Amino acid sequence: MPKKQIQVHDSFFKNLFSKKEEVTEFVTKTFPPEIVKKLHLKTLELDHTEYVDDELKKYFADKVYDCDYNYTDSKTGKVKITLLFEHKSTMENFPHLQLLRYLLNVWETQIKQAKDRDSNIKMKDFRLKPVIPIIFYHGKNKWNTEPFEISFEGMDKLLIKFLPQFDYHLIDMSEYPDSKIKELFKRPELQISLLLMKNIFYEPKLLDLIKEIFVGVDNYDNRQERLFYESITNYIYHSANINFKKLIEIMETLSTQGSKIFISTAMQLEMKGKLKGRIEGIETGIKKVAFLMIQRGDTNKAIKEVTGLNTLQIKYLRTLDEYLIDEETS
C-alpha cells in the first residue's frame, strides 16, 4: 500500500477508535463474551503513549486503552487493550514476530514509566499489565490464523515450551458481511466507518454504500456530524480507486445536503492535489522558508528576494492551507 494511502487509512482508523463510545461497542460486539464479562468498559481510558516504533510503522498503527478487569472474583486490576490496524492488504507471514516486538515495547515502557515515577521502586514487587492485542484487518484476502509454533520447523512438545506463548484477537472484516455489520453495530459512526473500511477496495459495493450513506445526510445538521461526513469524503477520495468525476455524478443524484458536503469537500481535495503538483519542483528547504515568510506576513517581493521563487509559485504556496503545507514540508 502506498505511503500516502497508509497515512489516510491510519488517520481514519485512529480518529474512529479515539472515541470511547465507539470502542466500547466495538469491544462488546467483537470480543469473546467471557472476556467482555470481566472487563469494566466504563473505565476505558485512552493511553496516549506511542508503542509503534519506526520498524513497526511498516506493519500497523495502534490505539491503546487501559481498562479495569476482574482477575478473580475478589481482585480487579488493569489490562491494556491494543487495537492494531494492519497496513497490508494481504496477511503478514509472521504476525507473531511483529506482535512480540510490540508487546516488548509496551512492557518495557511500563517498566521505564514506573522507574520515572519512583526511582526507589523495588522492581521485584512491580507487576506488568497484561495486554490484549487485537489485529484489525480489512485486506482483500482472508487472514489465516495459525499458532506461533507453525512458523518453526520440527516442533514437538519438548521444544514448544521454549517458544513465547501468546495469542491475539483477530478482526478480519472479510468475515463480516455488510448485513452482519449493520446488525451488530448500532452506533452510526462506527457502523458506517466499518462498512467503508471493509468495502473500500471494491468499487461496485463501495458505490452502492456511498449512495446509502449520503442519501440521508439531510437528517444531520450539527457540526460534529458534518465533520464526520467530511472525514468520510476525505477517506473515500484518497483511498478508493474511483474516478473523481464519477463520484461527483453519483453525489449529484442524492440528497441536497449530502451532495453539498461531499462535492465541496472533494473539490477542495482535488484543488489541493493540483496545487501540490504545481509546487513539487520547489526544493523542500525553500518551501519551508517561503511558508514561514508567508505566515510572518512578508510581501511577495521580500519572499522573491530571499527564496528566488516567482510570483506564481508564491501564489500557489499562499493558496495551500496549513494541512497541505505541513505535508509538503515534513
Q: Give Cβ neighbours of residue 165 (< 8 Å, ≥ 6 apart).
A: 148
Directed axis angle between helix 203-214 and helix 223-239, to 10°?
170
Give 325's Cβ-side CA count (13 Å radius).
Answer: 19
CA–centroid distance for 14 within its chain: 4
In this prediction, residue 203 carries a pLDDT of 86
Buried b (16+ CB within 10 A) or exposed e, 205-229: ebbebbeebbeebeeeeeeeeeebb
Neighbours of 31 (CB within 10 A): 18
- pLDDT tens digits, 84-102: 998 877 778 889 999 999 9
Q: What is the mean pLDDT of residues 296-304?
A: 89
d(CA 118, CA 300): 55
Q: What is the mean pLDDT of residues 203-217?
A: 83
Buried b (16+ CB within 10 A) or exposed e, 156-195: eeeeeeeeeeeebbbbbbeebebeebeebbeeebbbbbbb
103: enclosing H helix or E strand: helix 95-117
Q: Which amino acid is at 143?
A: W
Considering the chain, what is the average pLDDT of its residues?
A: 85
What residues are paired with 324 via a beta bridge? none
In this prediction, residue 185 carries a pLDDT of 96
**Who has greater pLDDT, 103 or 256?**
103
How long is the chain?
330
Neighbours of 106 (CB within 10 A): 20
What residues are paired with 78 via a beta bridge? 68
DSSP calls for 124-147 = GG--PPPEEEEEEE--SS------
Q: What is the mean pLDDT of residues 274-293?
A: 74
Alpha-carbon Rg of the chain, whole angstroms? 24
Start-to-end Cα distance in the chain: 20
Residue 143 pLDDT greater than 50, yes or no? yes
d(CA 66, CA 48): 10
d(CA 24, CA 42): 8
Neighbours of 120 (CB within 10 A): 5
**Who has greater pLDDT, 147 or 328?**
147
Domain ranges of the chain: 3-175, 202-276, 280-329
- pLDDT tens digits, 14-26: 999 999 999 999 9
What cell was used for 31? 470480543
The label of the residue with cell 497541505 reads 324
What residues are paired with 61 via a beta bridge? 85
Neighbours of 261 (CB within 10 A): 23
Q: Is residue 289 within 8 Å of residue 265, measured between CB atoms?
A: no
Q: Give Cβ neighbours of residue 225 (< 8 Å, ≥ 6 apart).
A: none
Name the band, by pLDDT with cuts 50, 70 and 90, for residue 142. confident
